[in-house]
């Protein structure tokens, strides 16, 4: 068991104050995780994730003590969570910028082969998809989706999966 597992349990089962500590434990900033571990260790008297989880699940007083510690340090916890969220968003933005820069450098390359490869692959894949649909009695949707992947990506539909994840999240589905 890891501290992330303890954090996930806290977020789902321990109530408001302790859920903030759970957010620290499931984050990716070492300082925030260490702060969460220190609070759980202080509340349970256990230094390993397994022992801490057992103490939290079996001793309601340990959960209450953790809530009290979280309320005393709520501003700091919220600042750690804000920092984790900010780092995650900055990382996503940089990833997107890098992808766009790579695409632009290929589109603006002086070498005609480099400049025409991506659009050529997309058109070829689109024609293959059309040929597949019109030459089969019962085309497979999986194969069609694979054939259309390059044209969709070239057209800018790179984030469809993330959009579907977002729609599922706002509808309350995992």
Span 65-76, pLDDT tens digits: 888 888 887 777
Q: What is the DSSP string of the chain?
A: --HHHHHHHHHHHS-HHHHHHHHHHTSS-HHHHHHHHHHHHHHHS--SHHHHHHHHHH-HHHHHHHHHHHHHTHHHHHHHHHHHHHHHHHHHHHHHHHHHHHHHHHHT-SSHHHHHHHHHHHHHHHHHHHHHHHH-SS--HHHHHHHHHHHHHHTT-TTHHHHHHHHHHHTT--
Structure tokens of 71?
């309320």
Domains in the chain: boundaries: 3-86, 110-170
pLDDT attached to residue 167 = 65
pLDDT at 62 over 90: no
pLDDT attached to residue 164 = 62
pLDDT in tens, 90-115: 998 999 888 888 888 888 889 989 88
Mean pLDDT of 117-124: 90
pLDDT attached to residue 133 = 95
What is the reported pTM? Answer: 0.48
């Amino acid at each position: 068991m890891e501290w992330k597992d303890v954090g996930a349990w806290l977020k789902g089962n321990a109530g408001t104050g302790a859920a903030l500590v759970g957010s620290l434990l499931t984050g990716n900033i070492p300082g925030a995780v260490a702060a969460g571990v220190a609070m759980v260790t202080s509340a349970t008297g256990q230094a390993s994730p397994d022992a801490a989880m057992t103490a939290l699940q079996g001793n309601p007083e340990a959960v209450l003590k953790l809530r009290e510690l979280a309320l005393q340090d709520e501003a700091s916890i919220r600042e750690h969570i804000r920092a984790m969220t900010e780092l995650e968003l900055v990382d996503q933005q940089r990833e997107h910028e890098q992808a766009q820069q790579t695409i632009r450098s290929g589109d603006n390359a002086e070498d005609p082969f480099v400049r025409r490869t991506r659009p050529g692959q997309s058109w070829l894949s689109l024609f293959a998809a059309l040929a597949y649909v019109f030459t089969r009695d019962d085309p497979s949707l999986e194969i069609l989706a694979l054939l259309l992947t390059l044209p969709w990506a070239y057209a800018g539909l790179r984030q469809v999966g993330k959009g579907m994840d977002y729609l599922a999240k706002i509808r309350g589905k995992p």
